[in-house]
Structure 1
């Protein structure tokens, strides 16, 4: 069963040009399914029925997996069995009627502009680490890219002269501009801090850790959490908080949804629509507090 999973991942890479992150997610989801099926005595994919797949989804729910994780697993399973059906010429697809649980869309946590300013002012600019951290935070807020995309930026991906970066980690490559503040922060980092962190090492990655190696998601998360604490920010901050804040602040200041969608890399504009809804709710709150005849 492992062979078919690996062949499917290679198929995705060769025919769809999927990113490594996407491929890892598909592989992880399908290996979990494979483990479940083996426990049920199923050793071949053609033995799988619609009833078994539904039982697996119920098993994930009983194990208290998040609805978003289960939904992603359903998408992986559907894609995999569609591939098997085409390759093996199966008449029936057992995953055809498989349904994902409804995901309740919650408003993402965002920072106010003042909180962002406070957070971004925390790194000490008299140390190489502080200059690097300031550059990472400024670039993250200036572009709204994902943390996985930030830590995988190479020197070739950033054009400081024209003020834009090319983000190719996701399935849709996109070019995103950034302003003078982020540009100044990255230039300061490139001028001396990166050289000091690298020492005698060399690296294609834009941002490196204190050992001169590429940054990790966990490493960045610890950095962000530390600065949030020192800034006295009460709400729980995740690496996605600056991405959400970037989008919400753009919409609040009049940016059109289509442009924000392109910069965020959303395939569906309905995903971007949540930031417009947040803006409407904010306006309503202001109205209810201020209008004399509310």
Structure 2
């Protein structure tokens, strides 16, 4: 195993254990760094230079993305963020390499908020006709998502014994961060109606 491979593994373990990053984030960082090392043929930390990063950025910028377009600037930045984080790790260990502040991210346009109107929201919430268990479930899901702002993955991870008698509950989200979300009366009622109709729930 080469020196860079060893350092990469140690860095990924550091992200997972000491920084508390999710396994998905660690997997992505591994992919980004591996691509940089394979392209740049880096053998030692000191081989990471302004020139090697510039050439990699130029190569990234010419890679095809979806539908024949080049790789988006935002996606290119993911690679640079991973590399900068790796360089910060090397600096913490006092390993000679390129200073992390030398990595500048590409400028990307601000993301616009794609908001829906009140009328569109009401049509969405009223789409389930509540005539059967499936539509009651769908209504409960929509009300819960709208009320709490949960991600779909967070909603799917909610425990079966979630206490909806209160107006709030804690959820562990992205980056293992815990936050409090709030239940509206409509969401609580939709959930109760759905659960009361289920016949497979434990007493």
TM-score with structure 1 length normalisation? 0.57
- 1:129, 1:193 within 8 Å by CA — same for their partners in 2? no
Q: 1:144 aligns with which of 137, 142, 149?
A: 149
Report the equivalent of 1:134: 139
Which residue is equivalent to 2:96? 91
Contact map agreement 2:46 2:97 (CA 8 A) in 1: no
- Does residue 148 of structure 2 align to residue 179 of structure 1? no
Alignment of 1:12-51 (within 5 A): 12-37=15-40, 41-51=41-51
Gaps of 5+ in 2: 64-69
CA separation in 1, counterparts of 2:136 and 2:150? 20
Q: CA deviation at 1:12?
A: 1.7
SS in 2 for 1:76: helix
1:8–1:189 CA distance, 2 compared to 1 (3 A) = farther
Offset at residue 67 of structure 1 (A): 2.0
Taking structure 1 as reference, are residues 124 and 21 closer, same or farther at Cα in structure 2, changes over 3 Å only? farther
Q: Is 1:190 aligned to residue 163 of structure 2?
A: no
Aligned residues: 192
**Do structure 1's residue 78 and structure 2's residue 84 form an aligned pair?**
yes
Q: Distance in 2 between matches of 1:81 and 1:95?
A: 5
Partner secondary structure for residue 121 of structure 2:
helix
Q: Distance in 2 between matches of 1:20 and 1:194?
A: 36
5+ residue gaps, structure 1: 197-201, 203-294
Matched, 1:57 2:57: yes
Q: Residue 106 of structure 1: CA displacement?
A: 3.4
Once the two structures are TM-superposed, the CA of residue 128 in structure 1 deviates from its matched residue by: 3.3
What are the Cα deviations for residues 11-40 of structure 1, in whole angstroms up to 9, with x where unaligned?
A: 122222223443343233223323433xxx
Is 1:166 paired with 2:187?
Answer: no
Counterpart mapping for 1:209-288 below 5 A: none
Residue 51 of structure 1 deviates from its aligned partner by 1.4
> Would the aligned equivalents of 2:39 and 2:56 in 1 still touch at CA under 8 Å?
yes
Equivalent of 1:10, from 13, 16, 21? 13
Find the residue that maps to 2:18 and give its secondary structure: helix
Counterpart Cα distance in 2 of 1:8 and 1:69: 21
What's the Cα RMSD here?
2.7
